[in-house]
Structure 1
């Protein structure tokens, strides 16, 4: 039976789609995102086959910003607490970007409950380049420099071919839209990258796993994504030719990779 967990804060805002009555699937969103912004484009497809539950981290979606630094354990526990509240005893976990780190922590803290992992555009360790980007991201967010932060993130998150295909006016529209969508907790989310190295945890995971690498990603380098796949025992690697935003570029292909893998994963 599900075991309730003790968390430091009030429950996070929750997204629930259980109309299919299918097996449980937990969603862990990326830094500076939310369940809606990261998974909204594929939520109907996921919910057609699974009972889907996700939570918004502090400072995004419907969850208030935290006064304390965020911790992976807390995010993982809040996600499992939401599963408990919705009656999901076992579940697969889909993690995107920093949410992949949350998904890995769920798998290591609750190994008897996780049936499969799908990790997209994520990493086992941040590496020097990503840490430097995260430092700048956090600093700009703390100072309220939303436009400068958007000008940093747009060329890193977009597929270069897509970005270069835009007119200058369209690029400015994207920058403005990005600046306006940065949530209050974005800096707190990316601070999770400091010291992030989950390679030792990966060795303890024993569930079917799929790593979906975004091959045109300039935010999370492809080498780090492949390193994650190599470090996760028995993981399957699939490559998606997008930048860091598969939900914006190729949502149907992303959803098909996720649902196809979960449909084939052995029932535990």
Structure 2
């Protein structure tokens, strides 16, 4: 018999919004709930209760005092949902949040109604591993401007990069500054966890209905990583967002929202 693990006190800054069946949001490394899900929060909150915990060092969550642990992070997200009055939920994971979501599904299977995994990975592919190492090195050296340049470039699609061809170098200062301002203090801790994640043995244990969303223009997490997630999870559905970047723009996020709503609409009914 499968039993859920005990829950800790979450000690996380949590966004709670909306009314209806619960969606637990798991954001990416160096991001946050607004940064990953901001374009769709109001729409989803019309008929769902959104529970969006911020990882240590993001939002208003205290910074980590030790290296992040995937089991502990998964348990703390579940604890945040339960503290918000939600005993069961679908989990929407983005990038690192996809690994968190899968670990939630294997540690707390009776609570998880479904998974939506976007730009995810079972373990860091070579591109992501190199990027994580560079991000950690630059952050440790205090080279935050260069780190922001790397993040900006990595999160663009090939089409986005082509659009930069006619810009003067100075014109890039503003988007670099915006990227830097959006990175939380916990970025280094998040990417340290990215470099250590390995959920390959979890995949076959996932019993919840799963939708895997693949941005095919992703330059940070190879699309092949998402394909491996879908191949390893029994019965997983897969959709592609052609040309989409790691961080979805408004048009791609609108397409994502349509597919996610269609997926959620056919789940078994549950009480809010």
Common topology (TM > 0.5):
yes
Deviations 1:36-82 (A, max 9, x none): 11111110111112111010111111112111111111211111111
For 1:12, the equivalent position in structure 2 comes to 12
Structure 1 CA distance, aligned partners of 2:157 and 2:183?
A: 19
For 2:216, the equivalent position in structure 1 comes to 215
For 1:251, the equivalent position in structure 2 comes to 253
Equivalent pair of 2:25/2:50 in contact (CA under 8 Å) = yes
TM-score, normalising length: structure 2:
0.91
Structure 2 CA distance, aligned partners of 1:267 and 1:227?
A: 29
Query: 1:1-268 alignment to 2 at 5 Å?
Result: 5-7=7-9, 11-18=11-18, 20=19, 22-166=20-164, 167-168=167-168, 169-241=170-242, 242-248=244-250, 250-267=252-269
Unaligned stretches of 5+ in structure 2? Answer: none
Deviations 1:149-177 (A, max 9, x none): 12212221111212321323543321121
Structure 1 CA distance, aligned partners of 2:216 and 2:268?
A: 28
Q: Give structure 1 regions of 4+ aligned residues with deviation exceeding 6 angstroms.
A: none
Between Structure 1 and Structure 2, how many residues are aligned? Answer: 263
Deviations 1:77-111 (A, max 9, x none): 11111111111111000000001111011101100
Once the two structures are TM-superposed, the CA of residue 143 in structure 1 deviates from its matched residue by 2.2
Unaligned stretches of 5+ in structure 1? Answer: none
State the Cα RMSD in Å. Answer: 1.8
Structure 2 CA distance, aligned partners of 1:94 and 1:28?
A: 6
Once the two structures are TM-superposed, the CA of residue 224 in structure 1 deviates from its matched residue by 1.1
Structure 2 CA distance, aligned partners of 1:264 and 1:29?
A: 24
